[in-house]
Amino acid sequence: MDAARFFDEMLGEGDTARGPYEDYKAWFDGEENARLLQRSADAEAIFRRTGITFNVYGDEDAAERLIPFDIIPRILSDREWTRLSRGIEQRVRAINAFLHDIYHRQEILRAGRIPARLIDQNEAFLPEMVGATPPANVYTHIVGVDIVRTGEDDFFVLEDNARTPSGVSYMLENRETMLQMFPELFARQKVRPVGDYPKHLRRSLAACAPSCAAGRPVVAVLTPGIHNSAYFEHSFLADQMGAELVEGHDLRVVDGRVAMRTTRGYQPIDVLYRRVDDAFLDPLTFRPDSVIGVSGIMDVYRAGRITIANAPGTGIADDKAIYSYMPEIVEFYTGEQAILKNVPTWRCSEPDSLAYVLEHLAELVVKEVHGSGGYGMLVGPAASRKELAAFSAKLGANPANYIAQPTLALSTVPILKRAGLAPRHVDLRPFVLMSPNKIYITPGGLTRVALKKGSLVVNSSQGGGTKDTWVLEE
C-alpha cells in the first residue's frame, strides 16, 4: 500500500502537528535526540528491573522477553475519546446482553438475526452455562476492545476480547514510566490518569459479589502459575488490588463455597478473577486432566455462591464469525445503530465468501475464528507465493475455521529512532469494567505498535511494542 494513504495521527499536512499533538510537538522540537534516546534506554532499564516480561508460546528455547516500549506517546483529544467511549460502552452492553440471551431464551436466534449453527456448532459455547445466571447478571466483568483507525474520524473495532483480556499491566507501567521520565510533560499538559484502574477493578468486581458474601467481599486472582506468559500481570494486579494470588492447588470446595488455603485455615472466596481458560477451570466438568483448575467450582458457581470473572462461556463473544454479526447484535439488544463500525468480514464457511477469499487471498487478512495473539493468521500482501498456497489449502480443508478482512490502511504514530521519528502502525485496546450499575472505561488504554517498518501486526508475540496512551482533558 502507498504510504501516502496512511493517516498520521501526529502530523497533518505540511508536517504541522494535529491539534492533540500541538503542545507535545512544540516540546519535542526543543529536545535533543540524544537525550530522548537516553531516556528510552532508561525506560528499558526500569522495565527490566521491574520484571515486566512475557513468554512466547511454542518457543521453548526463548528466555522471557521485554515488551519493547516506545517513549513517543499516542495522544487523543477529549472529543475523540468521548465518541470512542460512547461506542465502546454501547458495544459492551450489547455483548453482555447477547451472552445472557444465548445461554437462556436465545431470542436472537429465534428472530433469525444470526444463524443458529454459529452457536450450536461453536466450540466456545458451553452447554454447562445454559440456564445459569451469573451474580448481578454480569458476564463481561473485564473487556478489551481492539480498535484501529484509518482517518480523522474513522475508527473500527478489529476484535472483541471478552474471555480473559490481557495487557492492562503494561498500560499502567507505561504511564508510571513516562511520569518518571518526563514529569515536565505532565506538568504542561492535562492528561487523564489511568493509575486508578486497580482501584476501579476491585470495586467493580466486589459489586458483582454473590448474595452470600458477608461484609467486604473477598477477591482473589486465579493464575495458572509462573510459567504462564501473562504471570507478571496476574501477580501485578493481585498486588495492586490487595487481592490474594492463588493457584488451583490453593483452592477447594468447603461447605458449598470455594475457599482458599490460609495460615488460619480455609477462607471462602466471593469473587474469583480467573486467568485460566474454561477448559481447565474444573476437571469434574471440563478437562479431567486439568491440574490448574478447581474440582467442583462449577457446581458452586451454578448455585450462585461464587462470582467467576469473566463468566465461563464468554469466549463465544470473541469468536470472529460472531464478530461479523456485531452490528446486528448491537441493534438487536440496544435498538440503536452501532456507533463504532466493524471491519467488513467474509465468513469462509459460506461458499460465496470462500470463493471470493480464495480468489483475492493476496489482498486480504485471514484469521482463525478462535485465534488470538497474531497466531494462525495470514497477511496476504506480505505473504510469499508458498505461504499463499499453503493457506489456500488450509481454507479448503476447514473453511469454517476462518474469516477474512480487507487490509486496512491503519493509522500511524511516530516511534523514536536514532535518525529521528519514523511512522509505525498502531491499534488501541481500551479496558472496560462492567458492574451491575456502572461501566468504567479507562481513559486511553494500551496502544500496541508494529515496530517493523510496513508491518500491520502489532502483537508483542509477533515483534510489536507498546506506547503510553494519553487522553487530554478539555
Residue 37 lies in a domain: no
The span from the CA of 26 to the CA of 46, in Å, is 27
* Grid cell digits, residue 462: 509477533
Give residue 144's pLDDT: 96
For the chain, give the mean pLDDT: 92
Mean pLDDT of 206-225: 96
- Where are the strands (E) in 162-269, listed by range? 219-222, 244-246, 251-254, 257-262, 265-268
**Which pLDDT score is estimated for 75?**
98
Number of separate domains in the chain:
1
The answer to whether residue 385 is domain-embedded is yes
Note whether residue 266 is domain-resident: no
Tell me the three cell numbers of residue 261. 488455603
Q: Could you tell me if residue 104 is inside a domain?
A: no
Residue 362 counted as domain residue: yes
CA distance 210 to 271: 8
Query: 170: which DSSP letter?
Result: H
| Residue 389, domain extent | 344-407
Quick one: how far is CA 363 from the chain centroid? Answer: 26
Domain assignment of residue 200, yes or no: no
Q: How is residue 139 annotated by DSSP?
A: S
Enter the DSSP assignment of 309. E
Tell me the pLDDT band of 469, cut-offs 50, 70 and 90. Answer: very high
Q: Stretch 195-223: mean pLDDT, rounded? A: 96
- Is pLDDT of 121 > 90? no
Asked if residue 247 belongs to a domain, the reply is no
Report the SS3 class of residue 463: coil
pTM to 2 decimal places: 0.92
At 131-166, the pLDDT tens digits run: 999 999 999 999 999 999 999 999 999 999 999 899
Closest CA to 449 of 15, 21, 46, 71: 71
Residue 462 has pLDDT above 80, yes or no: no
Would 158 be classed as within a structural domain? no
d(CA 286, CA 318): 20
Grid cell locating 303: 448455585
Instruction: State the CATH number of the domain containing residue 368.
Output: 3.30.1490.270
pLDDT band of residue 1 (cuts 50, 70, 90) is: very low
pLDDT at 451 over 50: yes
Q: What is the pLDDT of residue 438?
A: 94
Query: Residue 55's pLDDT is what?
Result: 54
Average pLDDT of 325-351?
96
Q: What's the mean pLDDT in 302-313?
A: 97
Cβ count within 10 A of residue 230: 18
